[in-house]
Amino acid sequence: MLGPIVGVLFDGLAYGMLLFLLSVGLSVTLGMMNFINLAHLSFGMLGGYVTVTLMDGLGWPFLATLPVAFVAGAVASLVLERVLFRRAYRASDLDQCLLTIGIVFMSVAAAAYIYGTVQQPVQLPSYLTGSVTFLSVNFALYRLFLIATALVITGVLVAALEWTRFGAQVRAAVDNQRMARGLGISVDGVFAIAFALGSGLAGLGGALAIAMVGLDPAFAFAYLVYVLIVVSVGGLGTIWGSFVAATLLGISDMAGKYYIPELGSFLIYLVMVGLLMWRPAGLFGRR
Amino acid sequence: MPLPFVLTPNYLSLASQIAITALFALSLDLILGYAGIVSLGHAAFFGLGAYTAGIISTYGWGEPLSGLVIGAAVAGLVGYGASFVIAHFRHLALIMITLGMGLLLHEAANSASWLTGGADGLQGVNIWPLFGAFKFDLWGRTAYVYSLVVLFLIFLAARRLIHSPFGLSLRGIRENPLRMPAIGAPSRAHLREIYTIAAVIAGVAGALLAQTTSTVSLEVLSFQRSADVLVVLILGGAGRLYGGILGAIIYMVARDQFSGVNPQYWYFWIGLLLVAVVIFLPNGILGGLARLRATWRRAAS
């Protein structure tokens, strides 16, 4: 009786944690610069493909590829930010959407060109495969690993935000950009670093996603919708918002698919539209 | 205009598609270019028009003109309902809500396969000859003239609308949404009106597609279609009414040429084009031309 519910909660939590890793960067950068970056998951996809290339091509162990996926996402975003995104900070919502959608198109086509359109298989190390059984419920080891990693990262992020100087600058820039500049905080510099960190996390998320939801060139588009839902429901510029929204979304998606499969994703979209109508700034948002 | 008649049937059907896309882009221009509503879900109304026209014909009524009107009416009705929500939001919330609504409708159509045929598409669409005499056949002549005439008529109507005081107030709302209520203009009501009108026109475009191709698939409700029409409009230039037509011509012809080569890589070039347009031609091709003309005028004086 309890089994399926706990199972759904567990899987939903794991899925939610994955979504959190993929979304938190977008939430913070949106809150800070109001820059609508629809290409956020292209960095995620990049991280995933980096992991695949390192593991298949160079034989690296899975865990060792994760930091590289992070760095790849961070570096790619730094380059793109410098070269392209900078020019669009003052542009309209629409222009930012179009610019970043263009980047997504290009990245999806490039991924299809280099890797083909098939799902990328990944061979997990043996200590991450299989499951443990606790109170007669099966807990997949990989999902435990995913949840644990995400929780550790959340802890690090929150700690950094609260107790480091950089975190204070980020919070200042999100709260009131003009004031922060007036106080001498280099908002552009802070933003570039926050952007890089967020994209790095997306890259990490992309690498971790392979064993959970798969990886193919459509990843940047398919999960973009979910990430956007997390960000708009959770609120812009808030880590907790993303965390709660991602967990909610992950669990309701799993529960919906398990208990009412005919509805499919309908429930999620309905919840999102309803929540946004009730709170347009998101659950934890400010404006 | 008579030129396409001498081209092969293949190009005639492309020309009809261009007219339909131009009409769809025109409807988006009304809300995006003139009223400033960014919608990532406009295909919802296109799809509603298409499915309505298609479904009516599967139930036995295949008369094209009335099917067109009914399809447009259904789309308009849903648009009217949605407009009450749309008019309240801006920025990211608005984008997300339009996206969400589009996705919702797509999912609903997918699930309601008893009505829509689901992923297999609508079966048994049968459109009667126009005016009892002109069949919709593989040669595509009827389809071409039909689409073109509809586009022309609606374009004229839209032009009247834009140059009316109502049209001016829309531009006011786009430029300064806070100021308009301050001078007494009922901006929410105006937004609802234009959104409904745009939904009607998009529904007409969708119904045209269903009638000229005798097929309706889930793709008409997809995010892909919403994104494509956005690209078409931006390419030509939003807020200039002709932008949708220009964008449609360029986009569809280019796609016809390129996607033969390799459909996937088509999206790479579209992406590059989008980036280039946003950086270098923020007002689309028409905007760029207008700027050029202004520069020449200044140089001449």
The Cβ of residue A149 has, within 10 Å, a number of other Cβ atoms equal to: 17
> For B17, phi and psi rounded to 5 degrees?
-60, -40
List the single residue in B88, B111, B277 with the smallest CB-CB distance to A262: B111
Measure the CA dihedral B219/B221/B224/B225, to 10°.
100
Confidence category of residue B2, pLDDT binned at 50, 70, 90? low
Q: Tokens at residue A82, please?
A: 């410098």
Quote the strand ranges of chain A, DSSP E.
131-134, 137-140
**Most confident listed range (A22-36, B4-18, B279-293):** A22-36
Q: Is the pLDDT of residue B96 over 90?
A: no
pTM: 0.83
The residue ranges of every structural domain in chain A are: 2-278
Q: Tokens at residue B56, please?
A: 């009516």
Residue whose pair of structure tokens reads 């890089």 in the numeric block: A196
Q: At what angle do helices B91-111 and B64-86 cross, to 10 degrees?
A: 140
Query: Which has the closest alpha carbon to B89: A102, A13, A281?
Result: A281
Q: Do B278 and A91 touch (CB under 8 A)?
A: yes
Q: State whether residue B134 is helix, strand or coil.
A: strand
Rounded percentage of chain B residues whose pLDDT exceeds 90: 35
How large is the average pLDDT for residues A133-162? 86
How large is the average pLDDT for residues A227-250? 89
Please check whether residue B205 is in contact with residue B24, taking contact to mean a CB–CB distance below 8 angstroms: yes
Rounded CA separation B62/A281 (Å): 46
Confidence category of residue B202, pLDDT binned at 50, 70, 90? very high
**Most confident listed range (A47-51, A176-180, B184-188, B290-294):** A47-51
Please check whether residue A69 is in contact with residue A49, taking contact to mean a CB–CB distance below 8 angstroms: no
Q: Is the pLDDT of residue B3 over 80?
A: no
Lowest pLDDT segment from A27-41, B59-73, B96-110, B256-270: B256-270
Q: Is the pLDDT of residue A179 over 70?
A: yes
Please check whether residue A238 is in contact with residue A27, taking contact to mean a CB–CB distance below 8 angstroms: yes
> Which residue pairs from A119-126 have beta carbons closer than 8 angstroms and sit at least 24 positions apart in sequence?
A119/A214, A119/A215, A119/A216, A120/A48, A120/A49, A120/A52, A120/A210, A120/A214, A120/A215, A120/A216, A122/A51, A122/A52, A122/A55, A122/A62, A122/A210, A122/A211, A122/A215, A123/A55, A123/A62, A124/A62, A124/A211, A125/A61, A125/A62, A125/A63
How large is the average pLDDT for residues B160-174? 85
Rounded CA separation A176/A182 (Å): 10
Per-residue pLDDT tens digits for A192-223: 888 999 999 999 999 999 888 888 888 888 88
Residue of B nearest to A88 (CA): B279
Please list every residue in chain B whose beta carbon sits closer than 8 Å to the beta carbon of residue A98. 230-231, 234, 274, 277-278
Confidence category of residue A63, pLDDT binned at 50, 70, 90? confident
Which one is the CATH code of A2-278: 1.10.10, 3.20.20, 3.30.70, 1.10.3470?
1.10.3470
CB pairs under 8 A between A and B: 116
State the best of A40, A94, A227 to mutate against chain B, taking most chain B CBs within 10 Å. Answer: A94
> What pLDDT, on a 0 to 100 scale, did the predictor assign at position B263?
67
A132 secondary structure, DSSP code = E
Confidence category of residue B7, pLDDT binned at 50, 70, 90? low
Lowest pLDDT segment from A44-48, A137-141, A181-185: A137-141
Q: Is the pLDDT of residue A287 over 60?
A: no
State the best of B235, B268, B280 to mutate against chain A, taking most chain A CBs within 10 Å. Answer: B268
Rounded percentage of chain B residues whose pLDDT exceeds 70: 95
Q: Is the pLDDT of residue A232 over 70?
A: yes
> What pLDDT, on a 0 to 100 scale, did the predictor assign at position A35?
85
How large is the average pLDDT for residues A216-244? 86
Residue of B nearest to A95 (CA): B278
Please list every residue in chain B whose beta carbon sits closer than 8 Å to the beta carbon of residue A113. 264-265, 268
Rounded CA separation A125/A88 (Å): 43
Q: Do A84 and B100 touch (CB under 8 A)?
A: no
Rounded CA separation B179/B166 (Å): 16
Please check whether residue A107 is in contact with residue A49, taking contact to mean a CB–CB distance below 8 angstroms: no
The residue ranges of every structural domain in chain B are: 3-222
Q: Do A265 and B277 touch (CB under 8 A)?
A: no
> How are beta strands A131-134 and A137-140 bridged, if at all?
antiparallel
Q: How far does B147 lie from chain A, in Å, by closest CA?
A: 29
How large is the average pLDDT for residues B91-96? 82
Query: What is the value of ipTM here, to two decimals?
Result: 0.80
Per-residue pLDDT tens digits for B173-184: 777 777 777 777
